[in-house]
Amino acid sequence: MMARLVHRGPDGEGLLRIGATCLAHRRLAILDLSGGSQPMVNETRDLAIAFNGEIYNHRDLRRELEGRHLFRSRSDTEVLLHLFEEEGADMVNRLDGMFAFALAGPHGMMVARDPLGIKPLYIGRKSGATYVASEMKALPPVDIVEALPAGHLQINDGPARRYALPFPPEPALRSPSVSEVLEGIRRRLDQAVVKRLMSDVPVGVLLSGGLDSSVIAALMRPYAIHLHSFTAGMEGAPDLEAAREVSRTLETEHHELVYSEEDVRRALPHVIRQLESFDAPLVRSAIPMYFICKVAAEHVKVALGGEGADELFAGYEYLRRFTERSELRKELAAMTIRLQDTNLQRADRMSMAHGLEARVPFLDWNLVRYAQRIPMEWIEPREDRGEKWVLREACRGLLPDAVINRPKMKFSEGAGSSELLAGFAREVIDDRTFEKERHVEDGIVLRSPEELYCYRIWREQMPSFISAGMVGRTRDASAAVGTPAWSA
């Protein structure tokens, strides 16, 4: 299992038997480079943990625990051990960060995943044994494979238990002025960026030149002496020049990778294997993400990106079809919940494929909870203003108006490679073949020849015991308003 995850942790490995549990870990060294090796044990060596992610409030938690516990490292991982000793499973409610972990002791094992599912965790079962891994392909052949849902924990073979609601039932802000809302967004976003600069290694930014990533870069700039920015696209792609423009404005150390159609053709099997998905829109956007992470990993180990802004602030064109504010609110909530199977999966898999950690400030828990309290009149798309108007106004002044006002462009379109997959599919799949093969396992119906093309590669690349039902699906933009934000 560890051999299948070398890409996620090229800096070291550890193996530990504790009671009936064996913990294994591949390390990407970011905090406490010399003392943060895993699996990590507590003082009495009766509790151990394998952990993936970052706990941004670990220093505050450490100050609470010091004096009652002996700390032997500066790692956020050790804080989790001692916090569990004091609070048990309830400790997950104290964590501010992205995480998936397995914690083992005399009473068995507990696994947990962060409230939005930024970090992945899969569980396999066979013949009374339980296996846990960060990626499905790392599991040995098993009878059952499940994803631990975001905001859930599980103890031994008990049921998965929700500990965090992605959108807690909190009251909407009461008659706020627009200036109060804009200040609230800007302050929380700045705090989210500062948290995610926590690292003992260089941190960069994945910069497409669009609104979301450009805002993140601008907020990072005052805190970085040398800020490295990265972009990727085909020759002449809009993102390349847009990112150069933002880089010149912010004076970043900019790096770009220009890829060709042949580069995409060669990389596609690896992209789909790492992504663990055949969902065509997701694969389409994973291609530039793969190349941008490739160039970023040559210079840094951590990079911030713009995922999540469209879900919080209604950035997608199809959302204009929602005329009822209550329905739009539900749709944004559903989209955010499903990020764990779509854009967050893309960000995690494409970055970790290159030994790079991606961090997502827009999905800071405090910002997410604040955004869901903003009156919909400030978020809803309208004909007299651009999408994500409230975010653009909150960040006005950070960058030239030409950048702040830049219309949204899909990642694959901005990178210039959005039509490549469909072209590859047309070479080998005609309409008759598509109709014949579009009904696949688990009753799933593929939506286009492009998706069938991706499915064929996915089936070749993934172990046979992984079923198509494990693959998250992005929304079909042609679906009627009121249908769920995902396909079965």
Please determine, for residue 445, whether its predicted confidence score (pLDDT) is greater than 70. Answer: yes
State how far Cα 440 lies from the chain centre: 27
Domain(s) labelled CATH 3.60.20.10 in the chain stretch across 3-162
With 0-12 / 13-18 / 19 or more C-beta atoms within 10 angstroms meaning exposed / middle / buried, residue 176 is middle
Q: Which residues are registered as beta bridge partners of 126?
A: 129
Instruction: Give the whole-angstrom CA distance, residue 206 versus residue 484.
Output: 30
Count of residues in the chain: 488
Q: Per-residue confidence at 62, pLDDT binned at 50, 70, 90?
A: very high
pTM of the model: 0.94
Please determine, for residue 482, whether its predicted confidence score (pLDDT) is greater than 50. Answer: no
Structural tokens at position 119: 């970090």
pLDDT at 174: 81
pLDDT tens-digit series, residues 66-120: 989 989 999 999 999 999 999 999 999 999 999 999 999 988 999 999 999 999 9
Please determine, for residue 342, whether its predicted confidence score (pLDDT) is greater than 60. Answer: yes
Instruction: Give the whole-angstrom CA distance, residue 410 versus residue 418.
Output: 9
- What's the chain's average pLDDT? 93
Average pLDDT over residues 42-52: 94
Please determine, for residue 287, whether its predicted confidence score (pLDDT) is greater than 90. Answer: yes
Beta strands in 299-452 (DSSP E): 302-304, 357-359
Q: Which residues are registered as beta bridge partners of 255?
A: 230
Instruction: Give the whole-angstrom CA distance, residue 440 versus residue 436.
Output: 10
User: What Rg, from alpha-carbon coordinates, does the chain have?
Assistant: 22
pLDDT tens-digit series, residues 360-375: 999 999 999 999 899 9
- Lowest mean pLDDT: which of 204-208, 257-261, 440-444, 453-457? 440-444
pLDDT tens-digit series, residues 209-219: 999 999 999 99
Edge-to-edge strands of the sheet including 357-359? 253-258, 228-233, 203-206, 302-304, 357-359
pLDDT at 397: 95
Average pLDDT over residues 124-136: 96
Instruction: Give the whole-angstrom CA distance, residue 134 versus residue 122.
Output: 6
Domain 178-259+282-415 part of CATH 3.40.50.620: yes
Q: Per-residue confidence at 152, pLDDT binned at 50, 70, 90?
A: very high
pLDDT tens-digit series, residues 166-177: 665 667 788 789
Strands 203-206 and 228-233 come out as parallel
pLDDT at 169: 60
pLDDT at 374: 92
Please determine, for residue 196, whether its predicted confidence score (pLDDT) is greater than 90. Answer: yes
pLDDT at 410: 87
pLDDT at 481: 46
Residues 27/164/286/310 CA torsion (nearest 10 deg): -140
pLDDT at 385: 87
Instruction: Give the whole-angstrom CA distance, residue 230 versus residue 293.
Output: 8
Average pLDDT over residues 245-263: 97
Name 388's Cβ contacts closer than 8 Å, sequence gap at least 6. Answer: 211, 309, 310, 313, 314, 315, 408
Edge-to-edge strands of the sheet including 152-155? 40-41, 48-55, 97-105, 108-113, 152-155, 161-162
Please determine, for residue 265, whether its predicted confidence score (pLDDT) is greater than 60. Answer: yes
pLDDT tens-digit series, residues 422-442: 999 999 999 999 999 999 998
Domain(s) labelled CATH 3.40.50.620 in the chain stretch across 178-259+282-415
Apex CA 147: angle with CA 212 and CA 333, to 5°? 40
Q: Which residues are registered as beta bridge partners of 101?
A: 51, 112
**Do residues 71 and 64 make contact, with C-beta atoms less than 8 angstroms apart?**
no
Please determine, for residue 483, whether its predicted confidence score (pLDDT) is greater than 80. Answer: no
pLDDT at 341: 96
Name 397's Cβ contacts closer than 8 Å, sequence gap at least 6. Answer: none
Strands 108-113 and 97-105 come out as antiparallel
Instruction: Give the whole-angstrom CA distance, residue 467 versus residue 142.
Output: 11
pLDDT at 183: 97
Domain 3-162 part of CATH 3.10.20.600: no
pLDDT tens-digit series, residues 370-424: 998 999 999 999 988 889 999 999 999 999 999 999 988 888 899 989 999 999 9
Average pLDDT over residues 277-286: 97
Average pLDDT over residues 232-252: 97
Q: Which helix (H) or strand (E) holds 245?
A: helix 238-250
